Structure 1
Amino acid sequence: MAAISLQHVRKFYDNGFHAVKDFNLHIEDGEFVVFVGPSGCGKSTTLRMIAGLEDISDGNLQIGGRVVNDLQPKERDIAMVFQSYALYPHMTVRQNMGFALKLDGVPKAQINERVDEAAKMLHLEPLLERRPKELSGGQRQRVALGRAIVRKPQAFLMDEPLSNLDAKLRVEMRASIARLHRKLGVTTVYVTHDQVEAMTMGDRIVVMKGGEIQQVASPMALYERPANKFVGSFIGSPAMSFLDGHVLGGVVGGEGYALTLPTDMAQRVSGHEGQPVSLGLRPEILSLLQPGAVADNGAVLRGVAEVVEPLGAETIVTVQVGAQNIVARLAGNVDIRAGQALALVVDCSRIHLFDAESEANISLD
């Protein structure tokens, strides 16, 4: 196991494209860190630089306190799991899992011992004599994980390893990988575009956009305290909704709405008086105002239900407020129909305000 440190790492190509810009991150020994962001944000490129599959244009990369910029992938003592299973079709599961060790000259008895140990962790013991064509997608991915585990590397690097699986298998494999990390304690860097994977698996999450780090924090810190509008919109499902507005006299308002801010938040954003802002609303901070009830401090948004999605335990409602839409997560037993006028109570202590120009979160203390 080893810490991984990236210091002012950059990647640019001969055509001038700057894929990764001044990337700085220290990953602790045994930590599980997830790189997340939209396609083209530089997350896989960064992972490939750690692996040695891409050259580093500038900066330093250390694994276990050793600068590895010029080392070949096999010299870095890492194991990588890819999106494709990349299993040898003519080999059995046992042979696939032990092949890298065989190339390294590890004695056969030791190879079998390591393969048996990994197979037990991954519940692959009944499948060791099968070939890849006889396995399901989830079983093949477990074999790919086993092939990495038997090497006992300093770090695991995983590049969207679950993206080829169906939804049910993805959930199962997320749990399997999380259990493996708890058991093995190996430093792990995991790349995904799926924020649900990121939230459920990572000790810390690195949110990237345009080759730059937007924020590094624990899953709940990202969710509750997004540094900017992009992080707020990317983390969370359903996503955070936004309404254009202005702050005036402790009230944030815009077309079709006006909300009184909590006193401490009003003080924090007083320097933006009269300036355009974006109001961020998580779906769960909205609740239905019952007929005859009155909300405290006028914390109500009024609009029209555009789309109603009953999911059993909850109902997701898209509501038009003025000319903009927001999303509310309501109780599963609500009786709402498209076109119905709604009044939604807002928990104003949990709203976010973002500067319209810089998109920085100006409501945090």
Structure 2
Amino acid sequence: MADIQLQHVRKFYDNGYHAVKDFNLHIRDGEFVVFVGPSGCGKSTTLRMIAGLEEISDGSLQIGGRVVNDLQPKERDIAMVFQNYALYPHMTVRENMGFALKLDKVPKGQIAERVDEAARMLHLDALLDRKPKELSGGQRQRVALGRAIVRKPHAFLMDEPLSNLDAKLRVEMRASITRLHRKLGVTTVYVTHDQVEAMTMGDRIVVMKDGDIQQVASPLELYEHPANRFVASFIGSPAMGFLEGRLSDRTLVGDGFALPLPAALAAHAAAFEGKLVAAGIRPEHLALAGHGIEAVVDVVEALGADTMVGLQVGSQAIVARLAPHVQVAPGQRVKVAPEPARIHLFDMDSGANIGGSAP
């Protein structure tokens, strides 16, 4: 096991495209860190630089205290799990899992011992003599994980390993990978575009956009204290809604609404008096009330455990997550009130969280 340190790492291509910009991060020994962000944000490129599959244009990469910029992938003692399982179709599960060890000339007895141990962890014991075509998608992904585990590397690198699975299998595999990490304690870097995966699996999450780190924090810290509007909108499901308006005497005044701010938030925002800002409100922090913001119901989605209600506030739209049996219908006029302590304010120009971001 080992820590991973990236110092001022950059990646740019001959055509001038700057894929990763001044990436600085220390991943602690045994930590599970998730890179998350939209397509093209640089998360997979960063992972591939750690793996040695992409050349680092500038900066320093250390694994276990050793600078590895110029080392080949096989010399970095890491194991990678891809979106594509890349199993050999003519080999059995046992042979697929032990193939890398065979290439490294590990003794047969030791290979068998490691494969059996990994198979027990991943509940593949009964499948060791099957070929990949006889396996389900989830079983194939577990074989790919087993192939990485038997190598006993310093670190696991996982590039969207669950994106080819259906929704039910993704949930099951999320839990399997989390349990596996807890048992093995191997440093893991995991890339995904799915913020639910990021929130449920990571010790820390690195939110990226356009090659830049937007924020690094624990899942709860990201949720409660997003550094900027992008992070606030990306983390959370459904996404945070925004109402734009002008600050006036501790009240946000916009098209068709006036939202009083709690004293602490108003104090943070005092310097923005008279300026345009955006109030961020998560759907779960809105409730129907006899007072509050006037809105018109646009869409109602009954999901069983709760009901998602799309609301039109003047010319702006937000979503409320309400109780499962709430009685509202499209076109109905309602009043909604946010939890005062849960309101965020964001600078319209920089996107920064005015109410204070995570350290």
Partner of 1:286: 286
| Structure 2 runs not aligned, ≥5 long | none
Q: CA offset at residue 262 of structure 1? A: 1.0
Aligned 1:62-211 pairs, distance under 5 A: 62-211=62-211
Partner of 1:49: 49
Comparing 91-100 with 266-275, greater Cα deviation is found at 266-275
* CA distances 1:44-98 after superposition (whole Å, capped 9, x unpaired): 0000000000000000000000000000000000000000000000000000000
Q: CA offset at residue 264 of structure 1? A: 1.3
SS at structure 2 position matched to 1:246: strand
AA in 2 matched with 1:364: G
SS at structure 2 position matched to 1:119: helix
Q: 2:352 aligns with which of 337, 343, 360?
A: 360
Partner of 2:60: 60
Distance in 1 (CA, whole Å) between partners of 2:337 and 2:241 is: 15
Aligned 1:196-345 pairs, distance under 5 A: 196-289=196-289, 293=290, 295=291, 300-345=292-337
Distance in 2 (CA, whole Å) between partners of 1:163 and 1:311 is: 23
Q: CA offset at residue 348 of structure 1? A: 1.6
Distance in 2 (CA, whole Å) between partners of 1:345 and 1:10 is: 45
AA in 1 matched with 2:285: I
* CA distances 1:286-306 after superposition (whole Å, capped 9, x unpaired): 0111xxx4x4xxxx1111110
Distance in 1 (CA, whole Å) between partners of 2:216 and 2:128 is: 40
Q: CA offset at residue 6 of structure 1? A: 0.1
Asked if residue 2 in structure 1 is aligned to residue 17 in structure 2, the reply is no
Distance in 2 (CA, whole Å) between partners of 1:315 and 1:35 is: 30
TM-align CA RMSD: 0.7
Q: CA offset at residue 327 of structure 1? A: 0.3
SS at structure 2 position matched to 1:197: helix
AA in 2 matched with 1:129: D
Identity of aligned residues (%): 75
SS at structure 1 position matched to 2:16: coil
Distance in 1 (CA, whole Å) between partners of 2:341 and 2:177 is: 36
Q: CA offset at residue 248 of structure 1? A: 1.1
* CA distances 1:114-171 after superposition (whole Å, capped 9, x unpaired): 0000000000000000000000000000000000000000000000000000000000
Distance in 1 (CA, whole Å) between partners of 2:179 and 2:218 is: 18
SS at structure 2 position matched to 1:183: helix
AA in 1 matched with 2:284: E
Q: CA offset at residue 9 of structure 1? A: 0.0
AA in 2 matched with 1:282: R
Runs of 4+ displaced beyond 3 Å: none
The TM-score with structure 2 as length reference comes to: 0.99
Q: What is the number of equivalent residue pairs in this alignment?
A: 357
AA in 1 matched with 2:217: A
Distance in 2 (CA, whole Å) between partners of 1:253 and 1:123 is: 58
Distance in 2 (CA, whole Å) between partners of 1:140 and 1:63 is: 29
Distance in 2 (CA, whole Å) between partners of 1:302 and 1:331 is: 19
The TM-score with structure 1 as length reference comes to: 0.97
Distance in 2 (CA, whole Å) between partners of 1:348 and 1:247 is: 16
SS at structure 2 position matched to 1:144: helix
